[in-house]
């Protein structure tokens, strides 16, 4: 999986470099996520997913479809959660923080006849680098047993993730826009702004 991810990064970097040489438009976005899908309902969000994205719109009229533009880029961000897990008479309090890095492919197509409204769909292929701070409560013997049970669970945090979303971006000026995205990823709803240059 790591080799596939690195291969995708190299391919995307090549496409972006070629498109930049051809002076294609670029967009930088900052979003905050609402709703934790990355970890699930047993975890409480302490820092919502904060993402910064870069996109190069390098394939206008892609695949011969008039009005369809494909963009390639990437996202990077951070989120944190906490959980409380009971193992008999032992209690584990975990605080997990995670750095998120992802490749992002976006398809733009105007679905609504509204000036300055950009509608799009996107897919994410990413990797999470996570760490945890764990505090135990209870008697030492039960904690020793519970640690061996919880070790596999804690080792599985982070790693690869996949996401997809639908979004819209309204350009208030030629450079500044507000955007909303809904879908499956670190969060189910992302709200933020974009800058085009």
Q: DSSP code of 148?
A: H
pLDDT for the residue 154: 64
pLDDT in 10s for each residue of the chain, 197 residues? 545 444 444 444 444 444 443 457 889 999 999 987 777 777 899 999 999 999 998 788 888 888 899 999 999 999 999 988 888 888 888 899 999 999 999 999 999 889 999 999 999 999 899 888 888 888 888 878 777 766 666 666 778 888 999 999 999 999 999 999 999 988 899 999 999 98
* Angle at alpha carbon of residue 54, lines to 49 and 58, rounded to 5°: 140
Closest to 104 in 3D by CA, of 3, 1, 5, 192: 5
The sign of the torsion formed by the CA atoms of 34, 39, 43, 46 equals negative
pLDDT for the residue 145: 76
Closest to 99 in 3D by CA, of 150, 47, 135, 56: 47
Contact 64, 115 (CB under 8 A): no
Q: Which two tokens stand for residue 110?
A: 């105007």
Contact 12, 74 (CB under 8 A): yes
Show the domains of the chain with their CATH numbers.
2-77+98-128+158-196 (2.40.160)
pLDDT for the residue 159: 85
pLDDT for the residue 180: 97
Q: Which two tokens stand for residue 1?
A: 């999986």
Distance separating alpha carbons of residues 96 and 13, to the nearest angstrom: 31
Distance separating alpha carbons of residues 4 and 162, to the nearest angstrom: 13
């Amino acid at each position: 999986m790591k080799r596939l991810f690195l291969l995708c990064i190299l391919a995307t970097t090549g496409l972006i470099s070629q498109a930049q040489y051809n002076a294609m438009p670029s967009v930088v976005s900052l979003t905050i996520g609402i709703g934790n899908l990355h970890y699930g309902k047993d975890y409480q969000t302490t820092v919502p997913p904060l993402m910064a994205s870069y996109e190069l719109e390098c394939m206008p009229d892609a695949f011969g479809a008039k009005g369809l533009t494909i963009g390639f880029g990437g996202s990077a961000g951070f989120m944190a959660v906490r959980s409380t897990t009971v193992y008999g008479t032992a209690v584990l309090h975990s605080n997990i923080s995670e750095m998120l890095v992802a490749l992002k492919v976006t398809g733009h197509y105007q679905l609504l006849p509204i000036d300055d409204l950009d509608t799009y769909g996107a897919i994410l292929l990413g990797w999470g680098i996570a760490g945890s701070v764990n505090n135990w409560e209870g008697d030492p013997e039960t904690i020793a047993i519970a640690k061996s049970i919880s070790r596999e669970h804690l080792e599985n945090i982070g790693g690869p993730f996949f996401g997809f979303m639908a979004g819209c971006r309204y350009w208030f000026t030629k450079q500044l826009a507000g955007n909303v995205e809904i879908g499956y990823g670190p969060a189910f709803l992302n709200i933020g702004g974009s800058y085009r240059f």
